[in-house]
Amino acid sequence: EFKTGIHFVFNDFDVRSSTNNWGMTTWNRAQIYRVKPYRIGAYIQDKIEYEGMIANIGLRLDYSNSNRENYVLDDFDVLLKEGNGYTIEDSAKTEASKPIMKLSPRLGISHPITENSKLYFNYGHFQTEPSSTYRFRIQREYSGKVTSIGNPNLEYERTIAYEVGYSHNLFDQYLLNIAGYYKDITNQIGWITYTNLNNSVVYSRSSNNFYEDIRGLEITLDKRKGTWITGFVNYTYMVETSGYFGLLRYYQNPNDQRDYESRNIYQERPEPRPYLRANLVFKTPVDYGPSIGLIKPLADWNISFLFNWKAGAYDTYNPDNILGAGVINNVQWMDTYFLDLRISKMFDLKRIRVQFYADVDNLLNTKFLSYTGFSDYYDYLDYMESLRHPWDEGDFKGNDRIGVYRDWDVEYDPIVANPDNDPVIAAENKRRIETKSYIDMPNIQSLTFLNPRMIHFGVRISF
């Protein structure tokens, strides 16, 4: 079985983006550019079967052309200064941007073991085109000073993926799948900041300088067949490691550069963040129940619950800037979990099918604190300092994670030191701990919790 295909995408980006602050012109910034990049993709694929083994072999070609001149600028070019930035298009030297072309092999092998089980292996290269903002942006302040500039010569972000797994059919009703995978991701895009001697040039330029590798194990139990009930449950244990090549800052002042390079630059320590997803669907058959004219009131109902849980992200709390591995990823956010619901009813009116549905996001209205609620970094530090950490002492010691919160109707009342074990103070501290009154909440109340329960109604008509 042989397949082939080709596609062509042409974009016309006319970007006129700006931020305007009438009170402080220093925050007024703009991005204005017109570019017409294009990309081409082509693939060939062959399916081979031999004594029960099935192999899919493919090759994909990706070609991308920024179709724009590249501005040739020195690292600390005077054209990047205040007053000069708006002359870049007319004054800077240019050269043709370099198109990129990559071949990506793909291989998938499936080998039956018994009538109900198989082993499989997948391998492939995948290319991701850099987004337009990384390639074409020139962001300038109101004064013309350039704050960030794109790179039309960016390479594809490349992922090399491996997967090996085992599938087993259980009772012709359930499919059990166990798979291990590894992804090697290179040429990820980041920003490099350049600063000249007197800070008149301070800007960031995009570069393919980041990398990441992802290792994981996932177990999935899937029930696809069923007149009344279907669903699945998936558990994934995943570990990510990321870092960057070279330096993220370059200073024209050699003293500043030496100081920066002497700091503790490290590869991000891998921390597992397992997650679980489960879907349970209750439905009625399309011909279920009595008819009223063309309508079957009890037929074709669908009630779907989707549950998501993910372990909390790790963060570094180091207000005193102490160097060392012990203060890297030393705190963790709360785990997050959400339950979503969709209810739908389909009406089959011969030539027309009409579906009414309601989506309920965050059905249980669970609340999780968001970083956007902090008015500034000091507000965040006030919150962190108020938490009960494992390294604290006395009543201040605890196991709070980032995200634990005090209800808005509970007045702020911090824990009081009790070195003499005063029973009155101890009782008050116990109350404070139970009510979480000791937590100094973020200052922006309206942005502290961003995922309220939301209900959407809709109708879909099919001819």
Burial class (CB in 10 A: 0-12, 13-18, 19+), 138: buried
Look at residue 265 in the predicted model and tell me its pLDDT: 61
pLDDT at 139 over 70: yes
Q: Assess if residue 141 is contained within a domain.
A: yes
Look at residue 326 in the predicted model and tell me its pLDDT: 60
What DSSP string runs through 17-54?
EEE--SS-GGG-EEEEEEE--EEEEEEEEEEEEETTEE
Average pLDDT, the chain: 92
E-assigned strands of 197-295?
202-223, 229-244, 249-251, 268-272, 275-283
Instruction: Report the distance separating Cα 276 and Cα 236, nearest Å.
Output: 6
Structural domains in the chain (count): 1
* Contact call for residues 294 and 276 (beta carbons, < 8 A): no
* Contact call for residues 198 and 218 (beta carbons, < 8 A): no
Instruction: Report the distance separating Cα 8 and Cα 225, nearest Å.
Output: 39
Q: Assess if residue 3 is contained within a domain.
A: yes
* Position with higher pLDDT, 38 vs 20: 38
pLDDT at 281 over 60: yes
Residue 316's pLDDT band (cuts 50, 70, 90): confident
Look at residue 321 in the predicted model and tell me its pLDDT: 73
Distances (CA, A) of 83 to 86, 142, 200, 389, 426: 7, 9, 10, 50, 63
Residue 139's Cβ-side half-sphere holds a number of Cα atoms within 13 Å equal to: 18
What DSSP string runs through 342-406?
EEEEEEEETTEEEEEEEEEESTT----B-GGG-SSHHHHHHHHHHS--TT--GGG-----BT---
Determine the residue type at 351.
Answer: R
Look at residue 389 in the predicted model and tell me its pLDDT: 95
Residue 312: DSSP 8-state: P
* Contact call for residues 204 and 192 (beta carbons, < 8 A): yes
Nearest to 233 by CA among 219, 252, 214, 213: 219
Instruction: Report the distance separating Cα 124 and Cα 132, nearest Å.
Output: 25
Please name the residue that has the structure tokens 């490099």. Answer: 192
* Contact call for residues 319 and 306 (beta carbons, < 8 A): no
Q: How far is CA 141 from the centre of its chain?
A: 29
Determine the residue type at 126.
Answer: F
3-state DSSP of 165-186: EEEEEECCCEEEEEEEEEEEEE
Instruction: Report the distance separating Cα 130 and Cα 191, nearest Å.
Output: 13
Spell 413-423 as b/e; 16+ CB within 10 A means b. Answer: bebeebeeeee
Instruction: Report the distance separating Cα 26 and Cα 333, nearest Å.
Output: 35
Q: Assess if residue 156 is contained within a domain.
A: yes
**Largest Cα span, the chain:** 85
324 Rama class: left (phi>0) / alpha (psi -120 to 50) / beta: left
Tokens of 165: 């797994």
Containing domain of residue 33, as a range? 1-272
Q: Assess if residue 26 is contained within a domain.
A: yes
Instruction: Report the distance separating Cα 260 and Cα 251, nearest Å.
Output: 9
In tens, the pLDDT along 218-269 reads 999 999 888 999 999 999 999 998 889 889 999 999 999 998 888 756 566 7
Tokens of 223: 């029930």
Look at residue 257 in the predicted model and tell me its pLDDT: 92
Mean pLDDT to the nearest integer, 48-53: 86
Q: Assess if residue 121 is contained within a domain.
A: yes
Percent of the chain with pLDDT over 90: 78
CB atoms within 10 A of CB 296: 20
* Contact call for residues 2 and 46 (beta carbons, < 8 A): yes
Nearest to 453 by CA among 355, 358, 357, 372: 358
Residue 66 in 3-state DSSP? Answer: coil
Q: Assess if residue 319 is contained within a domain.
A: no
Q: Assess if residue 37 is contained within a domain.
A: yes
In tens, the pLDDT along 113-134 reads 998 999 999 999 999 999 999 9
Tokens of 298: 């009890």
Mean pLDDT to the nearest integer, 105-112: 95
Residue 456 in 3-state DSSP? Answer: strand
Q: Assess if residue 10 is contained within a domain.
A: yes
Nearest to 209 by CA among 177, 166, 244: 244
In tens, the pLDDT along 9-36 reads 999 999 988 887 776 666 688 888 899 9
